[in-house]
Amino acid sequence: MTFVASAMQMAARMALPLATRGRLTILIFHRVLPAPDALLHDVWPAAVFEERMRWLRGAFNVLPLDQAVQRLRAGTLPARAAAITFDDGYRDNVEVAAPILARLGLTATFFIADGYLDGGRMFNDTVYETLRRLPAGEFELPVGEGGRVVLSNAASRRAAADRLLASLKYLPPPERLRVCEALAARLIEPLPDKLMMDSSQVPELERLGMSIGGHTVHHPILTSVSANEARAEIRNNKARLEALLGHPIALFAYPNGGPGRDYAAEHVAMVREAGYAAAVSTSFGTATATTDPFQLPRYTPWDLRPGRFESGFVRNARTDARFVSASARGH
């Protein structure tokens, strides 16, 4: 660890004890790559992830999420408390991220959408991997505002992917799938089918000291599907993961995770009725004893610039959750 990192670690430990007592910071990741990827520029490579996790281990008290939630309720949470989570079920979670965490004596909860195990591919990855492989030149966006974009380098492909994903995200799942399949059909070569975990890797995470949570079967935005579909996505996912693990799971993550936008009060009730003990959203801020345990906030540490991760983390750790709950919105 560099002198600067060590100094920032000490500064965090000194500045935060009183401000963070009774507050839980929950980190959210999706992937950790073996090496930097110019197209996926905001995804940490392994070296950066390990460096940041070393800082986190020294500056915060990192707890398993289930234990942290229990201690939050009991009022026994230590100062500078944090937990680590991953969403979706990418193969690099078990092959890259989990071994780093285990080596550092840290643990994380991995929320898995089981419909993509064993060769599945999420719609956003179909977009990224198709745009990665399309030849340079003009490309007509198939949905949204339309228009042509020029694909030339990683930055232009990234910008085209961002525009396309913004248009696709809130489409009904069948329509979204249709557009993605048409997009992939522009290529002669097949897209990668090993981005997500195999079923056998789910229990492997537990053998590495990690824990597993539910994330629906096919990762639909719950407000975009019927109540029956949402309930089946939540319950069937839990049943499949428990069958793979041989024991119950207690934690759930809402797909996309925006309260009132991506899930509503009825979905919170479904998660509770399915037998979960707590659930996480993607709202900014920290959880306290008064936070709904079925709408716990999480923090995404995007910034790769030196010092920005640490300062952003400290700022979030001193902040109450900034959202109106799905229940309060009346959905």
- Better-predicted residue by pLDDT, 302 or 140: 140
Overall average pLDDT of the 277-300 stretch? 94
- Better-predicted residue by pLDDT, 314 or 228: 228
6 band by pLDDT with thresholds 50, 70 and 90:
low
Quote the mean pLDDT of the chain.
Answer: 89
CA distance 222 to 202: 24
CA distance 183 to 165: 12
3 band by pLDDT with thresholds 50, 70 and 90:
very low
Whether 182 shows a pLDDT value over 60: the answer reads yes
Whether 331 shows a pLDDT value over 50: the answer reads no
Q: Which long-range contacts (CB under 8 A, 24 or more apart) does 127-132 make?
A: 127/161, 127/164, 127/165, 127/168, 127/180, 127/183, 128/39, 128/40, 128/161, 129/191, 129/192, 130/183, 130/184, 130/186, 130/187, 130/191, 131/39, 131/157, 131/160, 131/161, 131/164, 132/39, 132/157
Whether 304 shows a pLDDT value over 90: the answer reads no
Q: Name the architecture of domain 3-119+196-329.
A: Alpha-Beta Barrel (3.20)
* Token pair listed for 237: 């996912």
Instruction: Note the pLDDT tens digit of each residue in 109-166.
Output: 999 999 999 999 999 999 999 999 999 999 888 876 667 889 999 999 999 999 999 9
- Better-predicted residue by pLDDT, 142 or 194: 194
User: Helix, strand, or coil here: 239?
Assistant: helix
Whether 66 shows a pLDDT value over 70: the answer reads yes
CA distance 16 to 173: 43
Overall average pLDDT of the 223-232 stretch? 96
- CA triple 15-18-22, angle to 5 deg: 125
The whole-number pLDDT of residue 317 equals 72
- Based on C-alpha coordinates, what's the Rg of the chain? 20
The whole-number pLDDT of residue 322 equals 56
* Domain(s) of CATH 3.20.20.370: residues in the chain: 3-119+196-329
CA distance 47 to 238: 33
The whole-number pLDDT of residue 212 equals 98
Q: What phi and psi, each to the nearest 5 degrees, are found at residue 283?
A: -80, 145
Q: Which of 28-37, 156-165, 256-265, 315-324 has the lowest mean pLDDT?
A: 315-324
Whether 229 shows a pLDDT value over 50: the answer reads yes
Q: Are the beta carbons of 125 and 219 closer than 8 angstroms?
A: no
Whether 61 shows a pLDDT value over 70: the answer reads yes
Q: Which of 16-20, 62-66, 292-296 has the lowest mean pLDDT?
A: 16-20
